[in-house]
C-alpha cells in the first residue's frame, strides 16, 4: 500500500527546527515533494542537506508570519515550484512566558499577528489553489493551550483559541470543496519553544522549561502527528498526561481550573 504522503506536495512552515524539522525528516522517507519555510533560509538548506533530500524533491521558501500582507505573493511562489499544494502544515509560531498583568499589550498584539493572523493569511492565500486543484488538506499546529488556558500563557492562549474558532468555521465552509482541516494540539514536546518564547516586555526567555525538557521526544511526536493527518482527524491532542486536560475541560471544567492554577507549567 502506498504511503498517504507519497507524490504529494507538502508545505511546512517553521521547518528550520523542532516539530517542523522532525516532520521534514519523517516525510523524507516518503516520495513527497516538500516546501520548507521559515525565516532562517540557511538553516533550512542545512536541514535538507543533512537529511539527504534530492534536489528535485524540495525547495526553500523563506517566510515570516509577521509579514502577513505578503502571503498571497509567497503562496504564488510556492505554486510556481511544484504546480500544486496538496497539504499545508501551518507549524510556525511563537510562544509566551509571562503573567498577564506583566505583559505589555504590544506583546499580546504580536502574538496575535504571528500565531493567528499570519497563519490565517497564509491559509487564505493557499486555499484558491487547493480548491482549483479539487481539494487538499490544511493542518494547523495549535496547542493544548488552544483548548484550555494556563498561567504564564495568556497571550499565547488567546491566539491559539482564535485559531480553533477560525479553522472550525473554515472546515464547515470548505466541506463542499473537499478541503480537509486537521488541528493538532501538542502538549509538552522536546523543542526550543520555551527558549524562543517571549516574556512580558517582548524579550526572549532564552531558557528551557523543565516541563518542555521532560516532554515527548519530537521525533515520536512527528510520527504521531503524521498519523493523525493521514487519518484525516478533525483534531488530535498529542503529548503526555497533560492531554487529559482536553477531557477535563469538556466534562469537569472546575477540576481543570483547580489543577491548572497549581500546576507547574514551566
| Distance, CA of 54 to CA of 245 (rounded, Å) | 41
How far does CA 39 lie from the centroid of its chain? 15
| Distance, CA of 167 to CA of 182 (rounded, Å) | 9
**Which is the catalytic residue, given 58, 156, 175, 234?**
156
Active site residue 129: no
**Cell numbers 528551557: residue:** 208
Exposure of 95 by Cβ count < 10 A (0-12 exposed, 13-18 middle, 19+ buried)? buried
Positions annotated as catalytic residues are 156
Amino acid at each position: 500500500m502506498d504511503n498517504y504522503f507519497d507524490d504529494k506536495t507538502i508545505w511546512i512552515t517553521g521547518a528550520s527546527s523542532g516539530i517542523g524539522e522532525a516532520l521534514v525528516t519523517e516525510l523524507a522517507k516518503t516520495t513527497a515533494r516538500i516546501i520548507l519555510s521559515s525565516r532562517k533560509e540557511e538553516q533550512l538548506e542545512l536541514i535538507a542537506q543533512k537529511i539527504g533530500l534530492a534536489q528535485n524533491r524540495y525547495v526553500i521558501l523563506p517566510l515570516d508570519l509577521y509579514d502577513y500582507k505578503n502571503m498571497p505573493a509567497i503562496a504564488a511562489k510556492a505554486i510556481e515550484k511544484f504546480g500544486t499544494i496538496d497539504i499545508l502544515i501551518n507549524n510556525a509560531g511563537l510562544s509566551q512566558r509571562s503573567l498577564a498583568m506583566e505583559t505589555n499589550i504590544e506583546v499580546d498584539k504580536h502574538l496575535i499577528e504571528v500565531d493567528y493572523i499570519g497563519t490565517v493569511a497564509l491559509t487564505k492565500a493557499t486555499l484558491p489553489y487547493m480548491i482549483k486543484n479539487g481539494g487538499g488538506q490544511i493542518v494547523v499546529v495549535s496547542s493544548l493551550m488552544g483548548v484550555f488556558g494556563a498561567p504564564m500563557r495568556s497571550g499565547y492562549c488567546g491566539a491559539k483559541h482564535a485559531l480553533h474558532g477560525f479553522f472550525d468555521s473554515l472546515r464547515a465552509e470548505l466541506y463542499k470543496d473537499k478541503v480537509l482541516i486537521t488541528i493538532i494540539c501538542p502538549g509538552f514536546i522536546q523543542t526550543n519553544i520555551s527558549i524562543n518564547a517571549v516574556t512580558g516586555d517582548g524579550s526572549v526567555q532564552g531558557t528551557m522549561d523543565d516541563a518542555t525538557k521532560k516532554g515527548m521526544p519530537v521525533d515520536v511526536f512527528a510520527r504521531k502527528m503524521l498519523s493523525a493527518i493521514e487519518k484525516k482527524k478533525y483534531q488530535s491532542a498529542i503529548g503526555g498526561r497533560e492531554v487529559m486536560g482536553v477531557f477535563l475541560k469538556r466534562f469537569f471544567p472546575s477540576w481543570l481550573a483547580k489543577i491548572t492554577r497549581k500546576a507547574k507549567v514551566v
